[in-house]
Amino acid sequence: MASIPDTLLNLVKNYSPSGSERPAVEYLVGRMLALGYTRAFIDEAGNAVGVMGNGPRQVLLLGHIDTVPGEIPVRVGRDIISPYDVLRGRGSVDAKGPLACFTDAVAQVGARDGWQFVVIGAVEEERDSDGARHIAPLYHPDFAIIGEPNRWDRVSLGYKGTAWAGITVRQEQVHTAAEQENACEAAVNIWLRLKAWAEEFNLGRERNFNRLMLTMRDLSSGSDDYTEWARFSLGARLPLNLDPAAWYAHLNGLAAGAQVEPQGFAIPAWQCEKNTPLVRAFLGAIRAAGGTPSFVYKTGTADLNIVAPVWKCPALVYGPGDSALDHTPDEHLSLEEYNKALEILVSSLKILVQ
């Protein structure tokens, strides 16, 4: 059996769904100090922060320490499904694997003249990204690396935006024998108009990253003596050329007659620059390790979307793990992949700050 990285194992053992991250945060801060970080602390938002070195230039590695709910017994080994050494447990892929990899890589690189490495395990990424929103105005890095699972030989340069809304149709009661549209039918017809508009918008857009993707959730209805209502939540994954304000404007037009209430934080899509010293460092490290590097643009949304527009520095997303396992009951991370990603991170950081 492959050796089990201590940081990864113990971070996953500290189950930390959003809102209950404190034990995992305390563990990570202690682990950073034990690994020789210059300092480590818990910030005002509850993030774990570790600093290596004191130079004026800064590389910030941002991962998230929270997970979705649903604890998975932590175990290491092989089975029929995965004939390799894997670590099973909630967060092993999304995204404690990348965060532990950041922590171990910076410890291996150590302090470098003129540079400072900052590793942050952010809270609440799976909900409203409170941790990332807190740090965005506080740091001004020269380079930013965001931790999400994309496999050891791939670099992600883009994540879609997201916007949610509640749509409610409310009207006078309609008799079942009448031909008049009832509230449920009106809500369904709004959904069909939205889907049709999205299909028209997506014509000629082959890549999912460039497409508008809609989802319906929480469909419900009801009535009293005089009125009836139907409601659903609408999620939109937004491409680069459709920002939240423009999307909500289209939504209000297409849902005319219904009440549209934006929900949570709307986040625009973000795409990183490809030709930067940061990207070149990773591509070179992957090739040197025998890999064929590739770029990926994700249909999800990450803390990259929160911090990159503020920091305006070269950025990318990197981390071990198969993102198809995110949030699933079979979440697991190959230890071989973890070690390979660690090798890439160490090499990339050394190239970047040489």
Choosing from 21, 124, 125, 153, the catalytic residue is: 125
> Given the structure tokens 């670099």, which residue do they identify?
155
Q: E strands, the chain, where?
A: 39-42, 48-52, 57-64, 75-77, 86-88, 115-122, 143-147, 154-159, 161-172, 213-223, 227-238, 259-267, 270-271, 294-298, 315-318, 332-334
Decide if 4 contacts 76 (C-beta within 8 A): yes
Choosing from 21, 66, 303, 343, the catalytic residue is: 66
Burial, 254: exposed, middle or buried (Cβ in 10 Å; 0-12, 13-18, 19+)? middle
User: Going by DSSP bridges, is the β-strand pair 143-147/315-318 parallel, antiparallel, or unpaired?
Assistant: parallel
Q: For residue 60, what are its two tokens?
A: 């910030």
Q: For residue 297, what are its two tokens?
A: 């643009």
User: Going by DSSP bridges, is the β-strand pair 161-172/259-267 parallel, antiparallel, or unpaired?
Assistant: antiparallel
Other beta carbons within 10 Å of 324: 9
Of 231, 235, 185, 233, nearest to 214 by C-alpha is 235
What CA–CA distance (Å, rounded) separates 28 from 33? Answer: 9
Annotation says 125 is catalytic: yes
Cα-Cα end-to-end distance for the chain: 35
Decide if 341 contacts 319 (C-beta within 8 A): yes
Q: For residue 68, what are its two tokens?
A: 């979705």
Q: What is the DSSP letter of 17?
A: B
Catalytic (active-site) positions? 66, 125
